[in-house]
């Protein structure tokens, strides 16, 4: 388990590096030295390394989906990268996030309990500014959300947690939902202070601002599916072979899919004045001859040609040929 720094400690470290009072090379040398870490046998680690690796795979996929989603929603390039997946106590997690912050309390049905998605104010107010029509300007000082901002962030947060479904699909079918938003981490008590949680930290860059999106999931929430959080289960589920039953079901769904089909009788161009003067009984000349075959359009593409006619007392078209592409192959193959 790595050390968790509070926001004030992070700011102090950055300030020391900027001023030069702390040397980066000294930190690297200190990192190389062997360290003795105190292990608390009363609070043993509950997640294995294999389980943490599986969670890393899940949230790497989530980062890719979130990149696309936020970039389209905010109309700018957003970069989200997985920074770390670690286990710690819930008290250590709450002490590491700033006050105020945007703390989304999430239910992960059918899993028990709640999880948290915390969005750092460094990027949350940039998101708000973009969603409300601004240029993406953040705040100089922290403050709580207004009622309108809270509603906007709740809608944004729900869209973000909806992406959990696809990321977790190889493990479990989730129905994530935001229950409410809290600003003070002391009031977001989803489990006991000493309970072990897994913390997934996502580094998010919008314009030149960088902030963290932290996802905290308690042990009691993941306990029902711990046996599935293994790399072997992950890859076996992701690479599941196509069975005959799946193939038959997929074919039935494709065969019963509705596809729009239309027949183009012809085309012409008229002026707006001519269009406004059209009356009952007027004739519009098309560019198609009487003996010419008509286009049969399936979806957005012309797939066949045919001749018009009658089937009983209904209009119909008889397919006469397939439309081929430039390579001489059928378009619909």
- The CATH number for 7-244, chosen from 3.30.70.100, 3.30.470.10, 3.40.1550.10, 3.40.50.2000, is 3.40.1550.10
Task: Please indicate whether residue 198 or residue 288 has the higher confidence score (pLDDT).
Answer: 198
Q: What is the pLDDT of residue 253?
A: 81
Specify whether the CB–CB gap between 164 and 23 falls below 8 A: no
Q: Where are the domains of the chain?
A: 7-244, 258-322
Q: Torsion angle of alpha carbons 271, 276, 281, 285, nearest 10°? A: 10
Q: What is the pLDDT of residue 4?
A: 58
How does residue 1 score in pLDDT terms, banded at 50, 70 and 90? very low
Q: What is the pLDDT of residue 41?
A: 55
- The model's pTM: 0.60
State the average pLDDT over residues 243-265. Answer: 82
The answer on pLDDT for 152 being more than 70 is yes
Task: Please indicate whether residue 315 or residue 11 has the higher confidence score (pLDDT).
Answer: 315
- Looking at 7-16, 133-142, 178-187, 196-205, which range is the least confident one? 7-16
- Would you state the structure tokens that stand for residue 25, as one six-digit string? 């090379």
pLDDT in tens, 49-83: 888 989 999 999 999 999 999 998 888 889 999 99
- Annotate 234-298 with three-state secondary structure: HHHHHCCCCCHHHHHHHHHHHHCCCCCEEEECCCCCCCHHHHHCCCCCCCCCCCCCCCCCEEEEE
The mean of the pLDDT values for the chain is 83
The yes-or-no answer to whether 7-244 and 258-322 have a common fold is no
Q: What is the pLDDT of residue 286?
A: 86
The answer on pLDDT for 240 being more than 60 is no
Considering the domain 258-322 in this protein, what is its CATH number? 2.30.330.10
Q: What is the pLDDT of residue 160?
A: 93
**CA gap 218, 220 in Å, rounded:** 5
Q: What is the pLDDT of residue 98?
A: 85
**CA nearest to 5, candidates 201, 157, 174, 189:** 201
Residue at token pair 């309108």? 148
């Amino acid at each position: 388990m790595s050390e968790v720094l509070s926001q004030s400690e992070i700011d102090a470290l950055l300030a020391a590096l900027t001023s030069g009072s702390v040397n980066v090379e000294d930190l690297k040398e200190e990192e190389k030295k062997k360290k003795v870490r105190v292990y608390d046998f009363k609070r043993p680690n509950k997640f294995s390394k294999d389980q943490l690796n599986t969670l890393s795979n899940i949230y790497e996929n989530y980062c890719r989906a979130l990149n696309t989603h936020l970039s389209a929603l905010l109309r700018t390039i957003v970069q989200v990268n997985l920074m770390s997946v670690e286990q710690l106590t819930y008290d250590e997690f709450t002490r590491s996030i700033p006050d105020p912050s945007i703390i989304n309390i999430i239910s992960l049905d059918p899993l028990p309990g709640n999880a948290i998605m915390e969005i750092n104010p460094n990027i949350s107010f940039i998101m708000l500014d973009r969603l409300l029509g601004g240029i993406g300007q953040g705040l100089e000082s922290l403050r709580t959300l207004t009622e309108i901002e809270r509603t906007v962030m709740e809608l944004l947060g729900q869209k973000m947690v909806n992406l959990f479904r696809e990321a977790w699909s190889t493990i479990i079918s989730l129905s994530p939902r935001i229950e409410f938003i809290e600003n003070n981490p002391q009031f977001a008590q989803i489990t006991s202070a000493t309970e072990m949680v897994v913390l997934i930290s996502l580094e998010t860059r919008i314009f030149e601002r960088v902030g963290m999106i932290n996802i905290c999931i308690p042990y009691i929430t993941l306990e029902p599916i711990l046996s599935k959080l293994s790399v072997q289960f992950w890859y076996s589920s992701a690479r599941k072979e196509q069975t005959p039953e799946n193939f038959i079901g997929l074919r039935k769904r494709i065969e019963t899919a509705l596809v729009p089909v239309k027949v183009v009788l012809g085309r012409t161009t008229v002026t707006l004045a001519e269009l406004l003067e059209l009356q009952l009984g007027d004739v519009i000349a098309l560019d198609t001859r009487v003996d010419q075959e008509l286009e049969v359009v399936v979806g957005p593409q012309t797939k066949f040609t045919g001749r018009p006619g009658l089937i009983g007392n209904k209009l119909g078209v008889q397919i006469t040929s397939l439309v081929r592409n430039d390579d001489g192959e059928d378009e619909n193959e």
